[in-house]
Amino acid sequence: MMRLLLIPAFALFFLSLAAQSGDDYAAQIAEFREHYKEEFKADPRAPLKTDEELAAMRFYPPDPSYRVEAVFVATPEAKPFEMATYSGITKPYRKYGVLLFELNGKKLKLAVYESLRLKNMPQFKDHLFLPFKDATNGEETYGGGRYIDLSSADIVDGKLVLDFNKAYNPWCCYSDGYSCPIPPTENHLDVPIRAGEMMYAGEHKH
């Protein structure tokens, strides 16, 4: 993502959007993706700008089965650490908690993190960051993993809705010159997550 990991407005706008099923759900995901693309045009730091470049983005068809309810387990004793990025620098984070969920009959776990650079900024006070890798990386999806933006405000009664249809690529997928966090080992899934953004079909910029 961005060098300072500023959160795209599209992500903040949709963090609390409730998902539905069937045609309504597909329309909602389509709208989410259109806003996602528009943010590239609006942000002068974004690696993609033209309609041709944005048309090379690819996504799995919306699939409600990849929207799951996860049990949230807080990790209040977790200590700050430096998360590595693909540019070689590190960024300060703290593990906020763990999400326990079942997907396609398999029990899985992912950690969510809070950025220590952003947590004191009012507009990002609830923001949670979920970087992950899965068995599709390097073939169907970007080899460096993907991200999902969440909100602590969406944790209700110890549960949170996790929607992999909203997984998106780091900016490093499209171009050199960005410091994109590398998903920690604990967030490497050995199952395929065929939802969200796929491998970019356009040319990588250098």
Higher pLDDT, 40 or 7: 40
Instruction: Find the mean pLDDT for residues 72-95.
Output: 97
Confidence check: pLDDT of 2 > 50:
no
Q: Outline where DSSP puts E strands in the chain.
A: 67-74, 81-84, 90-103, 106-115, 127-132, 146-151, 159-163
pLDDT bucket at 83, cuts 50 / 70 / 90 = very high
> Hey, what are 103's tokens?
């997907």
Res. 19: pLDDT tops 50:
no
Domain ranges of the chain: 9-187
Burial status of residue 122 (CB atoms within 10 A of its CB: 0-12, 13-18, 19 or more): exposed
- Mean pLDDT of all residues in 181-199: 98
pLDDT tens column, 40-67:
999 999 999 999 999 999 999 999 999 9
pLDDT, residue 22, reads: 61
CB 81 within 8 A of CB 186: no
pTM of the model: 0.88
At 181, list the tokens: 């966090």
> Residue 205 above 60 pLDDT?
yes
Mean pLDDT of the chain: 91
